């Protein structure tokens, strides 16, 4: 269809003869195998040579000569970028801008083209200017090379990527300018064999540039130019068809009426149109082959996206020419792109094609070839891509239902349960189109029927069947939300749902099973909730949004409709399903969404009475907690003092509670007075009545029934006898808890007397004592209930109760004594920090079941969180947290997040006390190890190494800001030193203190000390040392030597001991985070603080880099090269000298001994230096590779592996573009002219596959 024009050689990269090939020809035929002699003009006039340029137009000496361009004065032949400025502002009408340029072109086309060339250069962000002299005498490739040299490589921004209001609309204005330019020139100028040839050559050359700005801008311009030419070609095609029809009509006339002159005119017009179309085809072919086939696989995702977006427009706009497999294959290939934005453009391009059903026949082969890829993209990691893939499949489904298999559809069905709402909504629309949009022909006659006979009846059943078949998902609320936008009428047909539940099935109709009825009730409840609340379920939205006026009106109308229907139907539904706990629980939630005013305005009081009677019957029949709580919440919803029905409901509620309270007191009296063991029937009656009262007390204030006394007697008897049934104790504790909370709420909300405060205080403290007794109960469930309630009560009645100006509640503040704190901590240690296999506390003992294990872990996490909350709010002493903190490493997977957050909160409260707690936890672990292994333990043992690793983790939690944690770290070292020297060795001072090995653990915190604090801590350490200790060199004294070195090293050697530290650290990566040797001189403190940047650098080096010689200078770094040490200097100058101590002067021998010790320390440090230097050499190559200075643009892309099958092996959506190592400045001159890898996006094995 499209032939390549003969573009002038000095402005083109394509030096081929004219080509013309049919619409089904592959445009990727770069070698010219399909080239033929074009029709029409056989010899194209090329661009004028340099000698002829000055003679074009009106001549070089006219007003359009070298000193004027577009009528604007020039300086040194440089034009003033007027086009770029106008397009950048985007304020003027683009039509007038283009018209002005056309007038300039007619006046002097060289000058106007120079203006246009500089416009494209300027739009690329290049500061260089193409002068008239360059335009006359330089080849196009030379001009581009010159502009590349003048391009500002230091800045990565250019107009298409710049931020700010002035650049926000630049892209649209730029594209509009190109479109208007072609539209205004479509009748004459574009056929002059000069303007379009020059522009296409320029854009083709720029699009092959290594500079990203040139490549991006020129590709966008070329693609928009191509789109405009496609539009011109389409118009030409239409005009040719019209002319042909007119010619045929005129020729078919009889000879007497035939106008030969008109025939000749029509024939001439058709010939001109054909020539113009050939010319346009040549231009499009040049752009497609010169730009598109290279740039659709560019290294930059934005450029690839531009190409795919535009080819989609071409296929949609001019389907007869472009909608064939030769062009569709590019979209199919690019669906495997590594970047989501490119895959997204592919899908949106295809949506525009599949939306037009007339084009479906041309897409059959493409659909069969790439359908599997589209289906797989519904699970794309980019949610936007997944949404568009589902929408595309919906269009495919509408075009032909036979294309998608049942498996393909099922892959989309399950996405209705996705947590990402746009994905779920798109999947819901697909589901609706597939299963619910079709209607039987006989349904047309019953559209006006309602209820069970309505057309929606079968659709509702289909929805229920689908919900039950999706066994992996049991969340009806998510299914309803997914289909809410597309199936609103179906989901709001509550009358039909109600009829399916209440009415008998019609003749020949199968009734709903029990499971189907339960599913229908759950779906019905979810639809009512969605209509009444107008927001998605939990996890599907960012929160409640503000409703529009229209949405509020719809909400009110729906609530009215719901109330009018179910105020009458709900009592009937409850009566029918009264014995089914699951159905009743869901049905009882409906009144929460009623408009209660309708009970009065609609004269529905008798139906309200019927509802209250049904609720009362359900309370008497059921003992299930969920059912009873649903009844309680229903009474709470109906007992609204704003409505006139309040008195009626309140009376019914009071009668029910009266009967329950009287029955409970009567049963309890008989139950407690029996001298023998309680009868099982009596125990069941007490438990069932207590369950009902507890459920109602959760939502209602039952203070006037004085339930504290009877519950207290029940619990006290259980403590005395020890044979109280487990469930009775659990519910009695919960009910008593509710009693206390309701009394506290009553006192807080209204003015109360002193007697009320004292009574509540007494009840609360008695209740805490009862809970404390039950912490030692033999039954685990009872202990867990007592612990949870006790933590809640202690939290509520802590000093926090007085916040917010409630000082009158000060008498209620309760602080637990040490015994209670100890019992709470013991419970945590015994029931939380246990192995999974040891936890046999489930009711059925099914710990092997994975779900039971997860539930048990969730329960233990809640117990730990309850106790940690007491620590955080200082209800219990902070030092009790030591037993929690020491479990950090052992139970990191289960409770690491809770313990870490507790550390953070306690540090915010009191940094020093938190540090003392951390060191206390390490001391406890050290003592436990001593008790287990004795004092002669192996410091390379896993137990000791584990304690050191825990200390390292603790040190990391202090962060990088040493000033904030200065006092806390110093106090930590003080306590650690005291602990290490606390137990002297019974064998005398010549033997190390029993806890001296703890200094090896303490050295993990040395890196957190400031330099001046290290000196202070060292002085404090020497108070505990004797002169003989400083002279010892045996292995048992290594912890002291290691700790002293960490304090003397000035922050360079923060943790590592000489022998044991290396052995215990062998399996860790700690040495990669320590400080490299900088070899710099010691500077005064004031000089160190002179620059914030240098301070940060020093601090970062202190925290993270090992003791080693200076690493090789890295390219692209901000660090200043430190002074290099000579090997013979050892490391004597790096470490500060020991501070002077207040001791007696040493004699000559002692001085020699001190000098010898210092030499030994220097030798040991030098050994470490050599070891770390070897590590640095080993990884030096990778460091250099990672830190090489990048060139301005690296457009080469590597492809990993080979792809055997296009649809199965190409999983690009989970990969990122990998670029090869950048070339440094010395290697830039070695770059080859062709900067692009043919397999930059996909492997050659893919590109070589015959797709169709």
Query: pLDDT digit string (tens) for 957-984?
Result: 998 888 889 999 999 999 999 999 988 8
User: pLDDT at position 848, please?
Assistant: 54
For residue 791, pLDDT over 80 is answered with yes
Pick the more confident residue, 673 or 353.
Answer: 353
Instruction: Of 114, 119, 117, 112, give the one whose Cα is nearest residue 132.
Output: 114
DSSP-based three-state secondary structure for 209: coil
User: pLDDT at position 474, please?
Assistant: 72
For residue range 467-524, list pLDDT tens digits in order.
999 876 678 999 999 999 999 999 999 999 999 999 888 777 788 999 999 999 999 9
Q: Which 3-state string (H, E, C) describes 799-816?
A: HHHHCCCCHHHHHHCCCC
Pick the range with the lowest mean pLDDT from 396-410, 753-767, 798-812, 1075-1089: 1075-1089
For residue 753, pLDDT over 60 is answered with yes
For residue 30, pLDDT over 80 is answered with no
- CA–CA–CA angle 806, 812, 814 (5° rounding): 120
Q: What does the pLDDT average to over 389-403?
A: 91
Pick the range with the lowest mean pLDDT from 262-276, 422-436, 716-730, 1038-1052: 1038-1052
Please spell the DSSP secondary structure of 596-660, one letter per residue: THHHHHTT-HHHHHHHHHHHHHHHHH---HHHHHHHHHHHHHH--TTSTTHHHHHHHHHHHHHHH
For residue 12, pLDDT over 70 is answered with no
Pick the more confident residue, 883 or 1084.
Answer: 883
User: pLDDT at position 73, please?
Assistant: 37
**Residue 1165: Cβ-neighbour burial (10 angstroms; 0-12, 13-18, 19+):** buried
Q: Residue for token digits 């009426």? A: 257
C-beta separation of 342 from 1221 below 8 A = no
Residues in the chain: 1252
For residue 1120, pLDDT over 50 is answered with no
Please spell the DSSP secondary structure of 750-798, one letter per residue: S---HHHHHHHHHHHHHHHHHHHHHTT-S-HHHHHHHHHHHHHHHHHTS
Question: CB within 8 A of 1128, min separation 6: which ones?
Answer: none
**Residue 1169: Cβ-neighbour burial (10 angstroms; 0-12, 13-18, 19+):** buried
Backbone angles phi, psi at 78, to 5 degrees: -100, 125
Q: How much is the mean pLDDT over the chain?
A: 77
C-beta separation of 525 from 586 below 8 A = yes
Residue 253: CB atoms within 10 Å = 12
CA distance 1056 to 1172: 12
Q: What is the CA radius of gyration of the chain?
A: 42
What is the band of 154 on the pLDDT scale with cuts at 50, 70, 90?
A: low
User: pLDDT at position 1035, please?
Assistant: 77
For residue 847, pLDDT over 70 is answered with no
Pick the more confident residue, 368 or 1220.
Answer: 368
For residue 1059, pLDDT over 70 is answered with no
What is the band of 1156 on the pLDDT scale with cuts at 50, 70, 90?
A: low
User: pLDDT at position 49, please?
Assistant: 38
Report DSSP state, residue 225.
H
Q: What does the pLDDT average to over 185-195?
A: 88
Report DSSP state, residue 69.
E
CA distance 478 to 777: 43
Distances (CA, A) of 1113 to 623, 679, 1191: 77, 87, 19
For residue 2, pLDDT over 60 is answered with no
Pick the range with the lowest mean pLDDT from 115-129, 860-874, 885-899: 115-129
What is the band of 11 on the pLDDT scale with cuts at 50, 70, 90?
A: very low
User: pLDDT at position 91, please?
Assistant: 61
Q: What does the pLDDT average to over 867-883?
A: 93
Question: CB within 8 A of 1005, min separation 6: which ones?
Answer: 951, 954, 955, 969, 972, 973, 976
Q: Is 40 left (phi over 0), alpha (psi -120 to 50) or beta?
A: left
List 75's β-bridge partners, or say none. 78
C-beta separation of 52 from 37 below 8 A = no
Max mean pLDDT among 19-33, 68-82, 926-940 falls in 926-940
Distances (CA, A) of 374 to 312, 319, 448: 16, 22, 40
Q: Residue for token digits 């450029």? A: 303
User: pLDDT at position 146, please?
Assistant: 82
CA distance 105 to 190: 12
Please spell the DSSP secondary structure of 477-528, one letter per residue: HHHHHHHTTT-HHHHT-HHHHHHHHHSPPPTTPPPPPHHHHHHHHHHHHHHH
User: pLDDT at position 253, please?
Assistant: 80
Q: How many CA atoms lie within 13 A of 260 on its CB side?
A: 2
CA distance 550 to 546: 12
List 68's β-bridge partners, or say none. 73
For residue 343, pLDDT over 70 is answered with yes
Question: Which DSSP helix (H) or strand (E) runs through 928?
Answer: helix 911-933
What is the band of 802 on the pLDDT scale with cuts at 50, 70, 90?
A: confident
End-to-end alpha-carbon separation of the chain, Å?
19
């Amino acid at each position: 269809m499209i032939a390549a024009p003969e573009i002038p050689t000095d402005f083109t990269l394509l030096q081929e003869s004219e080509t013309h090939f049919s619409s089904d020809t592959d445009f990727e035929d770069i070698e010219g195998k399909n080239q033929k002699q074009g029709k029409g003009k056989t010899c194209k006039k090329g661009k004028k040579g340099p000698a002829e340029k000055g003679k074009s137009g009106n001549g070089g000496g006219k007003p359009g000569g070298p000193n004027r361009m577009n009528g604007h004065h020039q300086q040194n032949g440089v034009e003033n970028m007027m086009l770029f400025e106008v397009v950048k502002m985007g304020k003027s009408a683009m039509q007038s801008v283009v018209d002005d340029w056309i007038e300039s072109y007619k006046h002097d086309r060289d000058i106007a083209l120079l203006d246009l060339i500089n416009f494209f250069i300027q739009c690329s962000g290049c500061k260089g200017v193409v002068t008239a002299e360059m335009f006359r005498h330089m080849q196009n490739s030379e001009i581009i090379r010159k502009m590349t040299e003048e391009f500002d490589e230091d800045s990565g921004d250019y107009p298409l990527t710049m931020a700010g209001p002035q650049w926000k609309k630049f892209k649209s204005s730029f594209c509009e300018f190109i479109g208007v330019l072609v539209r205004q020139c479509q009748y004459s100028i574009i056929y002059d064999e000069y303007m379009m040839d020059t522009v296409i050559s320029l854009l083709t050359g720029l699009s092959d540039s290594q500079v990203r700005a040139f490549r991006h801008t020129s590709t966008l311009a070329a693609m928009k130019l191509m789109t405009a030419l496609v539009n011109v070609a389409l118009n030409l095609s239409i005009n040719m068809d019209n002319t042909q029809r007119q010619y045929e009509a005129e020729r078919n006339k009889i000879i007497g009426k035939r106008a030969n002159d008109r025939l000749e005119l029509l024939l001439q017009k058709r010939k001109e149109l054909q020539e113009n179309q050939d010319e346009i085809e040549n231009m499009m072919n040049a752009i497609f082959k010169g730009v598109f086939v290279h740039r659709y696989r560019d290294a930059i995702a934005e450029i690839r996206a531009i190409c795919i977006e535009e080819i989609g427009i071409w296929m949609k706009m001019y389907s007869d020419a472009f909608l064939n497999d030769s062009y569709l294959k590019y979209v199919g290939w690019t669906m495997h792109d590594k970047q989501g934005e490119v895959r997204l453009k592919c899908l949106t391009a295809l949506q525009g094609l599949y939306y037009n059903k007339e084009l479906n026949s041309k897409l059959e082969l493409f659909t069969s070839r790439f359908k599997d890829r589209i289906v797989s993209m519904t699970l794309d990691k980019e949610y936007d891509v997944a949404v568009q893939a589902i929408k595309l499949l919906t269009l495919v489904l509408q075009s032909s239902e036979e294309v998608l298999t049942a498996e393909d559809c099922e892959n989309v069905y399950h996405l209705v349960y996705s947590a990402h709402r746009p994905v779920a909504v798109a999947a819901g629309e697909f589901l609706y189109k597939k299963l619910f949009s079709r209607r039987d022909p006989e349904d047309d006659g019953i559209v006006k029927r309602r209820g069970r006979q309505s057309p929606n009846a079968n659709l509702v059943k289909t929805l229920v069947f689908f919900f039950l078949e999706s066994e992996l998902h049991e969340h009806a609320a998510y299914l309803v939300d997914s289909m809410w936008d597309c199936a609103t009428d179906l989901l709001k047909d509550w009358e039909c749902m109600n009829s399916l539940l209440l009415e008998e099935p019609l003749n020949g109709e199968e009734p709903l099973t029990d499971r189907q009825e339960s599913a229908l009730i759950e779906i019905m409840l979810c639809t009512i909730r969605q209509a009444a609340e107008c927001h998605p379920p939990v996890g599907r939205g960012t929160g409640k949004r503000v409703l529009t006026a229209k949405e509020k009106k719809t909400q009110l109308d729906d609530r009215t409709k719901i109330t009018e229907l179910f105020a009458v139907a709900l009592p009937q539904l409850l009566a029918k399903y009264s014995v089914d706990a699951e159905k009743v629980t869901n049905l009882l939630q409906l009144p929460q969404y009623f408009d209660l005013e309708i009970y009065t305005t609609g004269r529905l009081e008798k139906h309200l009475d019927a509802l209250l009677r049904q609720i009362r019957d359900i309370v008497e029949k059921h003992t299930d907690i969920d059912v009873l709580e649903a009844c309680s919440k229903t009474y709470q919803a109906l007992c609204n003092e704003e409505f006139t029905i309040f008195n009626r409901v309140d009376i019914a509620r009071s009668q029910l509670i009266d009967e329950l309270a009287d029955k409970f007191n009567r049963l309890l009296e008989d139950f407690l007075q029996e001298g023998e063991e309680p009868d099982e029937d009596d125990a069941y009656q007490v438990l069932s009545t207590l369950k009902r009262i507890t459920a109602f007390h959760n939502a209602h204030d039952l203070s006037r029934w004085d339930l504290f006394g009877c519950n207290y007697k029940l619990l006290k008897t259980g403590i005395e006898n020890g044979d109280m049934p487990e469930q009775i104790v659990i519910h009695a504790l919960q009910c008593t808890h509710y009693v206390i909370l309701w009394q506290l709420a009553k006192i807080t909300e209204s003015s109360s007397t002193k007697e009320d405060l004292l009574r509540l205080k007494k009840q609360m403290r008695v209740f805490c004592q009862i809970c404390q007794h039950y912490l030692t109960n033999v039954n685990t469930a009872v202990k867990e209930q007592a612990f949870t309630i006790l933590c809640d009560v202690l939290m509520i009645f802590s000093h926090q109760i007085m916040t917010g100006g409630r000082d009158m509640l000060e008498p209620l503040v309760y602080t637990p004594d040490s015994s209670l704190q100890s019992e709470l901590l013991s419970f945590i240690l015994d029931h939380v920090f246990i192995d999974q296999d040891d936890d046999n506390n489930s009711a059925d003992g099914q710990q092997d079941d994975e779900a039971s294990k997860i539930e048990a872990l969730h329960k233990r996490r809640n117990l730990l969180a309850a106790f940690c909350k007491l620590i955080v709010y200082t209800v219990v002493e902070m030092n009790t947290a030591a037993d929690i903190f020491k479990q950090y490493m052992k139970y990191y997977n289960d409770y690491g997040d809770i313990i870490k957050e507790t550390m953070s909160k306690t540090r915010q409260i009191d940094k020093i006390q938190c540090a003392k707690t951390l060191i206390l936890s390490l001391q406890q672990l050290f003592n436990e190890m001593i008790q287990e292994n004795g004092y002669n333990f192996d410091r390379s043992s896993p137990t000791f190494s584990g304690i050191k690793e825990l200390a390292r983790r603790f040190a990391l939690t202090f962060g990088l800001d040493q000033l904030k944690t200065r006092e806390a770290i110093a106090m930590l070292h003080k306590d650690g030193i005291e602990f290490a020297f606390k137990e002297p060795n019974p064998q005398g001072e010549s033997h190390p203190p029993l806890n001296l090995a703890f200094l090896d653990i303490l050295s993990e915190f040395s890196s957190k000390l400031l330099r001046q604090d290290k000196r202070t801590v060292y002085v404090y350490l020497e108070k505990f040392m004797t002169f003989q200790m400083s002279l010892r060199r045996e292995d048992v004294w290594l912890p002291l030597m290691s700790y002293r070195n960490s304090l003397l090293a000035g922050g360079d050697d923060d943790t590592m001991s000489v022998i044991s530290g290396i052995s215990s650290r062998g399996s860790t990566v700690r040495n990669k985070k320590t400080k490299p040797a900088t070899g710099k001189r010691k500077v005064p403190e004031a000089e160190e603080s002179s620059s914030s940047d240098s301070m940060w650098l020093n601090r970062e080096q202190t925290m993270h880099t090992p003791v080693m010689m200076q690493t090789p200078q890295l390219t692209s770094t901000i660090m200043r090269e430190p002074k290099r040490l000579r090997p013979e200097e050892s490391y004597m100058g790096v470490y500060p000298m020991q501070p002077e101590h207040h001791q007696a002067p040493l004699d000559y021998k002692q001085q020699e001994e001190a000098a010898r010790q210092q030499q030994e320390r220097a030798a040991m440090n030098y050994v470490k230096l050599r070891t770390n230097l070897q590590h640095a050499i080993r990884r030096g190559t990778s460091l250099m590779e990672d830190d090489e200075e990048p060139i301005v643009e690296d457009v080469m892309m590597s492809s990993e592996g080979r792809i055997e099958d296009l649809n199965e092996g190409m999983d690009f959506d989970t990969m990122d573009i990998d670029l090869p190592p950048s070339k440094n400045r010395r290697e830039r001159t070695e770059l080859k002219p062709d900067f692009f890898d043919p397999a930059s996006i996909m492997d050659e094995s893919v590109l070589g596959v015959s797709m169709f």
